[in-house]
Amino acid sequence: MMLCAEYKRALLADPQGATSEMRQHVAGCDACSAYTGLLLRFEGRLDRALRVPLPSSTAIPTGFAGPLAAPRTAVHPRRSLPRRSRWLAAAASVLIAAVVMGFWLVVPGRSLAAAVVEHMSEEPDAWSRTDVPVAQQRLERVMGNSHVRLRKAAPMVSYANYCQFRGHHVPHLVVQTAGGPITVMVLPDERVMRSVHFDEQGYRGVIVPVPGHGSLAVLERGETMDAKAVDAIAVQVRGAIEYLP
Amino acid sequence: MKDAGVGNLGSSRFEALCQKLRPDLLRFAFWLSRDRALAEDVVQETMLRAWKAQDSLQDESAAKPWLLTIIRREYARTFERKRFVTVDVEDLIAQEAPTLAATDEQDIAELRAAIFKLPDDYRGPLVLQVLMGYSTAEIAAELEMSNAAVLTRLFRARRQLRVLCGEDTSLDPDE
């Protein structure tokens, strides 16, 4: 039987790598359950901290002749860091987080969900309700860049873009359904262990795992559908996407 | 027909692959070196080496670990060439303040500064695990260490970070 100290050491070493022994331990230990929530919240911040913004000049010039060089950034002006903030607020939020055992696999997914919702504000026009499908060539190019394609039975796609998202370029689609437009983001580089539902800033959706191919975010705006309807569409969309070798 | 002088992937495919991976490579090099300008140099040199050696890349899915390995070696070479003197980490933090503070969240900026303060031996495995999604076994293989040693470093890295960030560590386990 695993001891609390062993559990915490293993958790600190690899918060996402819970073994069956760890799961068994935490299921019967309230203290470690609370500690897990606390640590996974920290882990979500750590993930965001490591994703430092990159200069817009990170693209590689076309053609390898100029060999792969992005212009080197100019010398940064020196600016001192703001003073340390008060940790009281952080501590309070940690306490709240610690109560919830379900945070085990959810926190990274939640930060991912927040990023998806944030991305929506960058392309508000995508949400237009329309009966006009996006050009097939554009759709194929957007999807092909990520080595995926839509099967013929897929819902009608009215918008397709290849977007910068958390350091990667990903397909951003809007499909038209009977209930209104639904946004789909194909996220081959974002893994979630199980479905993560979210309801933030007027967007409701789900991020579903796609084993071996990251995940898929499906969301609607304006509460025109309930969570079950979004889930059903997520299943439909997931089945409509073919991952190419 | 394969382009002249180009490996298994073809030049455009290889270029697209590098384009796709470049943000990850830059971030990895940045956390390795704690110096944005140096990171860009290292990534650029890495790309050149990768371009010359692309025939050795048999499988596109192996490109990312392959490039990360080249980055680590290239950084080590740069380090040797320049024979860096000991650098005050507070100077590094001040130098990279625009990057570290580029967020609306104060605690994220502070966490970035804390990551800067981690010893190299702890920071490297942590970045591979959290940012690059490496498993313990993959980190062990990359760094030529045992799984147990990797886990110890990851444990110490997080524990130190939590202390540096002023987290309540009263419930954290002893080593």
Contact B111 A45 (CB under 8 A): yes
Query: CA of B173, closest CA in chain A: separation in Å?
Result: 6
Say what percent of chain B tops pLDDT 70: 90
Point out the residue among B47, B102, B154 whose CB comes nearest to the CB of A13.
B154
Contact B174 A43 (CB under 8 A): no
Spatial separation of the C-alpha atoms in residues B101 and A231, rounded to whole Å: 38
DSSP B86: P
Point out the residue among A49, A94, A191 whose CB comes nearest to the CB of B108.
A49
What pTM was estimated for this model as a whole? 0.57
DSSP B173: P
pLDDT for B73 equals 93
* pLDDT, tens only, A174-215: 888 877 888 999 998 888 878 888 887 788 889 998 888 889
Spatial separation of the C-alpha atoms in residues A129 and A33, rounded to whole Å: 45
Query: CA of B64, closest CA in chain A: separation in Å?
Result: 12
Contact B172 A12 (CB under 8 A): yes
Contact B97 A63 (CB under 8 A): no
Contact list in A for residue B108 (CB cut-off 8 A) is 45, 48-49
Length of chain A: 245
> Average pLDDT of A125-130?
65
CB neighbours of residue A7 within 10 Å: 24
Point out the residue among A38, A52, A68 whose CB comes nearest to the CB of B18.
A68
Spatial separation of the C-alpha atoms in residues A103 and A205, rounded to whole Å: 18
Spell out where A83-214 has E strands. 148-150, 157-165, 168-177, 180-187, 196-200, 203-209
For the cut 60, the answer to whether the pLDDT of residue A62 exceeds it is no
Contact B110 A84 (CB under 8 A): yes
**Which domains are present in chain B?**
1-84 (1.10.1740.10)
Residue in chain A closest to B24 (alpha carbons) equals: A167
Spatial separation of the C-alpha atoms in residues B170 and B162, rounded to whole Å: 11
* pLDDT, tens only, A19-40: 889 888 988 999 998 898 888 8
